Amino acid sequence: MHKHLIRRFVLIGVALLVPLGAGAFAVTTAVTSGGSAAAAAPKYNDTTDTVHCSTFYGKVTISPALSLTGTSPTTIAVSGDLLGCSDATGFVSGSKTSDTEFTAKVSGTLSGATNSISTLSGCSSATGTLTVKWSAYYYNSSNTPAEESLTNSTTVASISQIYGALFSPGAPFGSSNVTTDGYGSFQIGANASTQGCTAPTYTSPGAFLGSDLGASTASVAVTSEDGGAIISGQTGATVTKLLLGIGAYYGG
């Protein structure tokens, strides 16, 4: 190689060393063939973080419809929204510019063993996956940059059983002649496991799995229709859709 060309490469290499202080140097970002390469944007590792969402609402669509004497396998489509979410660090936010609660979408399809309405009570077979897609950033005004994206934006749960029961709310229900048979509730995760149901498994790495890879994760959703309306088929000509009115989610 020509001596002049070699000397030029040496000078370029020396120029890439920027003094930081006495005896300290840092190498600047290299230039690629396609142009300048910026340093990778920082990301917050949310795998072992935990999250709590105070609101869960949505719907469950069941086909074929539930009935008192049903024996057919079912397809159960689940969709909903998680609202009022906050994480353990207090820095995961729904905004890139401030600290706010964040949200998520829940969706998935499960296969049920039977369309008998009795499956709404106790541990029932429902196999498939539910996916939670988080709309969130890590925002800390003390950092530069203040916002970071999350390393994981989804939580994927593989379900095998759901726990169903009647939920009887407190006052004002049951007083002033406002009574109900109780609303249908569905529980998945740690709270259902305490009732003897098989626990879900979670794809790892994933968002908000805590230190136990999701073993403590739990959710509950309560129907807008009470038990009497569900059993009598008053959600429609047949029971094909159940609205989820209230609920909550804990991840991790």
CB atoms within 10 A of CB 154: 15
In a domain, 168, yes or no: yes
Q: 118 and 177, same structural domain?
A: yes
Q: How many CB atoms lie within 10 A of CB 57?
A: 17
pLDDT above 80 (res 233) = no
pLDDT of residue 235: 58
* 54 and 22 within one domain: no
More confident residue, 7 or 85: 85
Is there a single domain that holds both residue 163 and residue 236? yes
Question: Does the residue 134 lie in any domain?
Answer: yes
pLDDT higher than 70, residue 7: no
Amino acid at 124: S
Q: What would the pLDDT profile of 39-91 be if each residue is shown by its tens digit?
A: 566 799 999 999 999 999 999 999 998 888 889 999 999 999 999 999 999 99
Q: Is residue 41 part of a domain?
A: no
**Rounded to two decimals, what is the model's pTM?**
0.81
Which secondary structure element, helix H or strand E, spans residue 191, and what is its range? helix 190-193
Of 129, 54, 58, the closest CA to residue 87 belongs to 54
pLDDT of residue 24: 34
Distance (Å, rounded) from C-alpha 154 to C-alpha 178? 41
Is the separation of the CB atoms in 156 and 203 below 8 Å? yes
For residues 9 and 61, state if they share a domain: no
**Band of the pLDDT at 229, cuts 50, 70, 90?**
confident
What is the DSSP secondary-structure string of 90-155?
A: S-EES-SSS---EEEEEEEEEEES--BGGGGSEEEEEEEEEEEEEE-EEE-TTSSSSEEEES--EE
User: Domain for residue 43, yes or no?
Assistant: no
Does 76 lie in the same domain as 32? no
pLDDT at 227: 83
Residue 243 lies in a domain: yes
Residue 234's pLDDT is what? 59
Residue where the block lists tokens 């169903």:
164
Do 165 and 235 fall within a single domain?
yes
pLDDT of residue 39: 55
The Cβ of residue 112 has, within 10 Å, a number of other Cβ atoms equal to 22
Structural domains of the chain, count: 2
Let me know whether 61 and 31 are in one domain: no
Q: Decide if pLDDT at 6 tops 50.
A: no
- Residues 84 and 127 both lie in one domain: yes
**Assigned domain for 199 exists:** yes
Residues 15 and 74 in one domain: no
Are 236 and 184 in the same domain?
yes
Instruction: Answer yes or no: do 125 and 98 share one domain.
Output: yes
Give the residue-averaged pLDDT of 19-34.
Answer: 36
What is the domain range of residue 210?
48-251
Alpha-carbon gap, residue 62 to 238, rounded angstroms: 10
Residues 73 and 122 grouped into a single domain: yes
At residue 29, the 3 state secondary structure works out as coil
In a domain, 81, yes or no: yes
How crowded is residue 185: how many other Cβ atoms within 10 Å of its Cβ?
A: 19
Domain membership flag for residue 120 = yes
What are the pLDDT digits (tens) for 97-142?
999 999 999 999 999 999 988 878 999 999 999 999 999 999 999 9
**What pLDDT, on a 0 to 100 scale, did the predictor assign at position 174?**
78
